[in-house]
Amino acid sequence: DAGVIQSPRHEVTEMGQEVTLRCKPISGHNSLFWYRQTMMRGLELLIYFNNNVPIDDSGMPEDRFSAKMPNASFSTLKIQPSEPRDSAVYFCASSLGSSGTEAFFGQGTRLTVV
Amino acid sequence: QQPVQSPQAVILREGEDAVINCSSSKALYSVHWYRQKHGEAPIFLMILLKGGEQKGHDKISASFNEKKQQSSLYLTASQLSYSGTYFCGTMKGGGADGLTFGKGTHLIIQP
């Protein structure tokens, strides 16, 4: 398996623009997680899905952030409108969904909002 | 609630030992340890599921004290490849919870 695949790897956008980050989890994994990493706040859990259903989105910072998982092999994280403080590395991870299993992280998307 | 890690940073010479601590104000059901190298994704090290459980592979091991709501990661005879940032992650309970990570411990191994 190729692992968790995220695209794009880098994104530079202007403030106010819409940004969509994409994630393909490992086949067979039924849990998917979106994290944001910054120097100041570390690795923050934004939202996670189980069997394509959003379970906990309490980490989503604002209404400008939304996430979807239309099927078991694809998820998106959208920011609209984007702001400079959204600049961070966004990671997607997937797992078999129980507390006793490891999460596999994608390589991340480095987002810069100017 | 974010777990608290200590120390924030450690600088060691190759061959020395290190201990990284992780504590939580909430009851812990499991503790997960990850390592991240600069510019890369976090990589899984181990999970501890039971109170008192100790796990390890190679020269990296960990313990979990459920009563004290603490876990410690032990790196023995550190190698240059151990350099990176170590994160502990905790879940609220069983099931498909996402991990809440501590802020990380930066480990630098010098030759």
- Residue that wins the pLDDT comparison between B55 and B102: B102
Dihedral over Cα of B19, B7, A37, B77: its sign: negative
Of A33-37, A66-70, B13-17, B44-48, the least confident: B44-48
3-class state of residue B39 by DSSP = coil
Interface of B with A in 47-66 (CB under 8 A): 47, 49
DSSP per-residue string spanning A30-81: -EEEEEEEETTTEEEEEEEEETTEEEE-TT--STTEEEEEEETTEEEEEESS
Mean pLDDT estimate for chain A: 94
Helix (H, G, I), strand (E, B) or coil at A113: strand
Q: Is the distance from CB of A114 to CB of A13 less than 8 angstroms? A: yes
Nearest CB to A42; choose among B32, B40, B104: B104
Q: Is B33 on the interface with A (CB under 8 A)?
A: no
Instruction: Please write the tens of the pLDDT for every residue from B6-65.
Output: 999 999 999 999 999 999 988 778 899 999 999 999 999 998 886 666 677 778 999 988
Peptide bond between residue A84 and the one before it cis (omega within 30 degrees of 0)? no
Least confident of A66-75, A82-91, B28-37: B28-37
pLDDT value of residue B87: 97
Distances (CA, A) of A24 to A5, A95, B44, B106, B110: 5, 12, 19, 30, 37
* pLDDT given at position B50: 67
